[in-house]
Amino acid sequence: MILVKEYIHKRDNNTCQWCGKKVSGSNCQVSHVIPVSANHGLSVDPLNMKILCYHCHLGIWHKNPILAYKWFKSKFPSRLRYLEKCMKDKVQLNKEDYLRLIEEWKLKIK
């Protein structure tokens, strides 16, 4: 999980995807789109994660799920379609896929 989080930080440039502020430390939070409790198989899928600042993560993302869904749909429509398909198809990441993703993330982090 640490490796994928490093990749998410790099991909999102340590920038809150909601408000656009540069973030660091405890203010820089990796947030799941689809909760881990809803589909554990997506817990390490980078398309299911984004960087949010503390305020946007707890104050908007978790407190207003309807607004959050609409925002994510408008900002990342293809990612949302992918995630919705994964939920519909009950996609679970198997060990081989996970190990392959780790190797890809290692290359992207360098």
pLDDT, tens only, 59-104: 999 999 999 999 999 999 999 999 999 899 887 766 677 677 777 7
> What is the structure's pLDDT at 23?
98
Structure confidence at residue 95 (pLDDT): 66
Reported in sequence order, the residue ranges of the chain that DSSP labels E, i.e. its strands, are: 28-32, 49-53
49-53 and 28-32 strand pairing: antiparallel
Task: State the CB neighbour count (10 A cutoff) for residue 55.
Answer: 16
Say what the pTM is.
Answer: 0.82
pLDDT tens column, 25-56: 999 999 999 998 998 888 888 899 999 999 99
Q: Which of 52, 12, 17 is nearest to 31 (CA)?
A: 52
13 DSSP 8-state letter = T
Sign of the Cα pseudo-torsion (53, 88, 70, 77, in order): positive
First-to-last alpha carbon distance for the chain, in angstroms, is 17
Q: Which two tokens stand for residue 102?
A: 């780790």
At 66 the three-state DSSP class reads: helix
